[in-house]
């Protein structure tokens, strides 16, 4: 398999199952608590490692017990941790994740050490022999991490390494300007169809086709839409292909988009067609939502193939 470099957040998720959301000033008594490894790039890295790839994660943790636990869990999942730095002042990021009875997650986070990843924390050696560089959009939120992300993109470009960017739901508007400027340097951008208007500052309900055409005209080669009705789509200059979502008993949606990204990355690296690439990404996502939490609960290629062959 191939070597993939990833840059993004490493955090610990405190996951609380809640029966309902209380009003401001009220109280929500959780019915279950789980503490687990998390982070968008972290989740994708674990899914790729479990699919046979060498996943090299670039990031930053705090000098604390949570950071040590994160490193241990990552190594145990097969992720290369050599290029993860330690911040002397900021703590490892903690996410408080509430999960409603329908499985939908809501996150509250202090980004801590993640946001302090500086350009000098991105070593060119990490890209040696890499087949793809994957960037989580959270890394574009603020400097110096955003500067580190740009350095990583530039290193990948000088080595002709394709770059994929995952735009998480909820921050598309915030990072829109940066993403649009990066389009000529991107091979693949992954986002939800509902976030496309936010990325291009268009009204909700706008026709997707002109927006997809605008992104392709901006220079990106592939657009993977996580959700477009009952299907996901892969759009390229030569046309678009799609595949329907797999039915799944949703337990927790945390990490589903990260798993979807892993499926598309595997498909891109192994050269499968657009429909099959979408179908594989959908399977990764579908397996994920049936599991509690993300991190070490992330699926690998065997899990996705098992669902596809059932």
**pLDDT value at position 253?**
87
The answer for 129, left when phi > 0, alpha when psi is -120 to 50, beta otherwise, is: left
| pTM to 2 decimal places | 0.95
The mean per-residue pLDDT over the stretch 37-43 comes to 96
Distance, CA of 155 to CA of 37 (rounded, Å): 28
| pLDDT tens string 135-187 | 999 999 999 999 999 999 999 999 999 999 999 988 999 999 999 999 999 99
Domains and CATH numbers, the chain: 3-11+40-84+118-309 (3.40.1190.20)
Q: Where are the beta strands (DSSP E) in the chain?
A: 3-7, 11-17, 32-38, 54-62, 84-87, 93-99, 105-110, 132-136, 163-166, 188-191, 222-228, 231-236, 239-244
pLDDT in tens, 53-104: 999 999 999 999 999 999 999 999 999 999 999 999 999 999 998 988 888 8
């Amino acid at each position: 398999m191939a070597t993939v470099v990833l840059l993004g957040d490493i955090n610990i998720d405190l996951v609380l199952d809640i029966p309902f959301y209380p009003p401001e000033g009220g109280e929500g008594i959780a019915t279950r608590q789980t503490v687990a490894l998390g982070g968008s790039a972290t989740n994708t890295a674990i899914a790729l490692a479990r699919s046979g790839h060498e996943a090299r994660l670039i990031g930053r943790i705090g000098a604390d017990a949570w950071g040590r636990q994160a490193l241990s869990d990552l190594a145990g999942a097969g992720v290369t941790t050599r290029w993860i730095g330690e911040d002397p002042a900021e703590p490892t990021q903690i996410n408080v994740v509430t999960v409603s009875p329908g499985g939908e997650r809501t996150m509250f986070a202090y980004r801590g050490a993640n946001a302090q990843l500086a350009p000098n924390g991105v070593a060119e050696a990490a890209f040696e022999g890499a087949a793809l560089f994957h960037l989580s959009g959270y890394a574009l939120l603020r400097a110096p991490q955003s500067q580190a992300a740009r350095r990583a993109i530039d290193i990948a470009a000088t080595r002709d390494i394709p770059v994929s960017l995952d735009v998480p739901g909820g921050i598309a508007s915030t990072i829109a300007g940066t993403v649009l400027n990066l389009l000529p340097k991107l091979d693949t951008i992954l986002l939800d169809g509902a976030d496309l208007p936010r990325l291009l500052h268009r009204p909700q309900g706008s026709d997707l086709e002109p927006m997809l055409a605008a992104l392709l005209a901006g220079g990106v080669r592939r657009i993977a839409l996580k959700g477009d009705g009952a299907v996901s789509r892969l759009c390229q200059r030569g046309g678009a292909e799609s595949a329907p979502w797999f039915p799944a008993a949703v337990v927790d949606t945390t990490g589903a988009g990260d798993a979807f990204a892993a499926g598309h990355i595997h498909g891109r690296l192994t050269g499968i067609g657009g429909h099959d690439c979408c179908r594989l990404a959908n399977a990764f996502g579908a397996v994920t939502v049936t599991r509690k939490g993300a991190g070490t609960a992330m699926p690998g290629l065997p899990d996705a193939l098992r669902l596809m062959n059932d």
